[in-house]
């Protein structure tokens, strides 16, 4: 049987709230806090009389030990000490006559009186200095928590949301009442909390009773990866039992991207120096190998089997020479002489070069050019080289055929060239390695194509971005700096590199 507080608890008014009309939630919030505070004030929430309480408030009332009853008869049977009832019933609730059975000696006050009481309680009652200070400290703490940019959630031991800061509601465009009671998994979706390795920090905190943290990644609808650092902290009851977990979610996408760029720059510098050294050291003996292989191949005394083996040596030496040339090109600084580039013309030239090869592989090439796009600062041949690398990667990714789409346009302060395909996409766990030198998912190739493309675009003052989802294709966007009216004539006078 559900019970309430006793008559000898020192509280002057044992209030029951009937119905869920305005200001039901406000009164529950205020009276519940005083009830949880141990009865230092003159009022306490003893019971709730309602047949339709929101899940979030129901969970909160259950935690506070405040019983919910469907009618007054059952409520007064379990809580005879109730000595004040506020009638907040809506028109629908009033038709059910929930208040039938309230003793005649118990005052029943309507909604205007409830509003007045809420104003008094929020500003005057309770009047003891210690409780007022506690209430003020609570308000200050909530102001600080709501001002934090990170998401902060209070979860019960089952992972259900009990409370949250304003940032959570604002980011999800939902009210607190809509989110309270849902499991934390439901907030961002199952993909957010998928753990490829390691234990969920919430579960770890429940198991160990200690702080835990983990890195979570998620992919949005556009195929972009977001990084979140999750921290969980245990909350214990006065008896030392772990009852809740505070979870803080910090979006570290920008910081992670900056760190990756710095690591990439350091790696590129080291690889550039190493590539130059290795290429020069290998080139001389490689030249000798190729020369002697050529001489042997022209020798009339070779058998057919020997001639075939020498041919393999010559072929592989030429392939190695091509790789060394790529390494030297990668290490060489990008030509800094910029011109005003007509990006549409560069795209059309690239498509003209690549169309026959793509069609041979069953890949269709489409263009969607913005005729009003601005000219970009850059080197036409280098931009074309980047596009060839991007189209080639898309073509090779679609072994069964497909479509490559090239588009131009402007977004914000960038001139954009987009290369999109409907291939298999790139797994999330290797997307941050795609632009690494010598990284390749193909059996053939040096893995320098996209790394070189990013280096060229970075040197031109732009940036190269990738969006991909497995099974939904890949989009690589080249962001270039547009030519401003003040420097267009200066750029036009500069000769293009040969």
From CA 27, how far away is CA 157, in angstroms rounded? 26
Predicted confidence band of residue 417 (pLDDT cuts 50, 70, 90): very high
CATH class held by domain 256-331: mainly alpha
Q: How much is the pLDDT for 497?
A: 37
Assign a CATH topology to domain 339-492.
Heat Shock Protein 90 (3.30.565)
Same fold, 148-251 and 256-331: no
From CA 36, how far away is CA 135, in angstroms rounded? 12
- Quick check: 249 pLDDT over 90? no
Q: How much is the pLDDT for 178?
A: 86
Q: Where are the domains of the chain?
A: 13-140, 148-251, 256-331, 339-492
Rounded mean pLDDT, 315-331: 71
Report the CATH number of the 148-251 domain: 3.30.450.20
Query: Would you say 267 and 436 are in contact if contact means Cβ atoms under 8 Å apart?
Result: yes
Q: How much is the pLDDT for 286?
A: 79
From CA 450, how far away is CA 419, in angstroms rounded? 13
pLDDT in tens, 78-136: 988 888 888 877 665 555 577 888 887 788 877 666 666 555 555 544 444 444 555 56
User: Do the bridges between strand 463-468 and strand 474-480 make them parallel or antiparallel, or are there none, so unpaired?
Assistant: antiparallel
- Quick check: 381 pLDDT over 60? yes
Q: Report yes or no on whether pTM surpasses 0.85.
A: no
The residue written with tokens 């007022």 in the block is: 132
From CA 247, how far away is CA 405, in angstroms rounded? 43
3-state secondary structure of 35: helix
User: Do the bridges between strand 414-421 and strand 474-480 make them parallel or antiparallel, or are there none, so unpaired?
Assistant: antiparallel
Q: Pick 13-140's CATH classification: 3.10.20, 3.40.50, 3.30.70, 3.30.1480.
A: 3.40.50
pLDDT in tens, 382-392: 888 889 888 98
């Amino acid at each position: 049987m559900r019970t309430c507080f006793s008559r000898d608890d020192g509280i002057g008014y044992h209030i029951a709230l009937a119905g869920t009309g305005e200001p039901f939630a406000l009164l529950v919030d205020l009276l519940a806090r005083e009830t949880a505070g141990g009865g230092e004030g003159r009022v306490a929430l003893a019971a709730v009389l309602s047949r339709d309480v929101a899940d979030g408030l129901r969970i909160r009332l259950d935690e506070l030990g405040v019983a919910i009853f469907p009618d007054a008869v059952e409520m007064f049977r379990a809580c005879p000490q109730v000595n004040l009832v506020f009638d907040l019933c809506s028109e629908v609730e009033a038709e059910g006559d929930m208040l039938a059975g309230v003793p005649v000696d118990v005052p029943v006050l309507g909604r205007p009186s409830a509003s007045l009481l809420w104003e008094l309680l929020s500003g005057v009652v309770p009047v003891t200095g210690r409780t007022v200070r506690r209430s003020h400290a609570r308000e200050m703490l909530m102001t600080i928590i709501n001002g934090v940019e990170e998401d902060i959630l209070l979860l019960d031991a089952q992972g259900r949301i009990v409370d949250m800061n304003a940032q959570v509601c604002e980011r999800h465009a939902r009210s607190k009442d809509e989110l309270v009671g849902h499991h934390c998994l439901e907030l961002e979706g199952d993909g957010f909390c998928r753990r490829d390795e390691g234990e969920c920090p919430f579960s770890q905190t429940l198991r160990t009773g200690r702080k835990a943290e983990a890195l979570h990644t998620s992919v949005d609808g556009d195929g972009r990866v977001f990084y979140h650092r999750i921290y969980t902290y245990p909350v214990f009851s006065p008896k030392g039992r772990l009852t809740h977990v505070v979870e803080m979610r910090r979006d570290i996408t920008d910081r992670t991207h900056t760190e990756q760029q710095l690591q990439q720059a350091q790696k590129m510098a080291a690889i550039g120096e190493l590539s130059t050294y290795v290429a020069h050291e290998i080139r001389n003996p490689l030249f000798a190998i190729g020369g002697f292989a050529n001489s042997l191949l022209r020798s009339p005394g070779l058998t057919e089997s020997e001639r075939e083996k020498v041919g393999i040596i010559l072929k592989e030496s030429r392939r190695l020479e091509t790789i060394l040339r790529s390494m030297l090109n990668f290490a060489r600084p990008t030509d800094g002489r910029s011109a005003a580039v007509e990006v549409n013309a560069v795209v059309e030239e690239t498509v003209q070069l690549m169309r026959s090869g793509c069609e041979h592989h069953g890949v269709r090439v489409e263009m969607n050019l913005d005729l009003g796009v601005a000219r970009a600062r850059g080197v036409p041949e280098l931009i074309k080289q980047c596009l060839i690398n991007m189209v080639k990667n898309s073509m090779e990714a679609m072994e069964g055929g497909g479509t490559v789409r090239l588009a131009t346009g402007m977004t914000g302060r960038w001139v954009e060239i987009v290369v999109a395909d409907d291939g298999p996409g790139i797994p999330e766990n290797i997307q941050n390695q795609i632009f690494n030198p010598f990284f390749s998912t193909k059996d053939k190739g040096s893995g320098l194509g996209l790394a070189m493309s990013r280096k060229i675009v970075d040197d031109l003052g732009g940036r190269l971005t990738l969006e991909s989802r497995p099974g939904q294709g890949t989009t690589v966007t080249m962001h270039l700096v547009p030519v401003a009216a003040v420097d267009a004539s200066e750029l036009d006078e500069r000769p293009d590199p040969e």
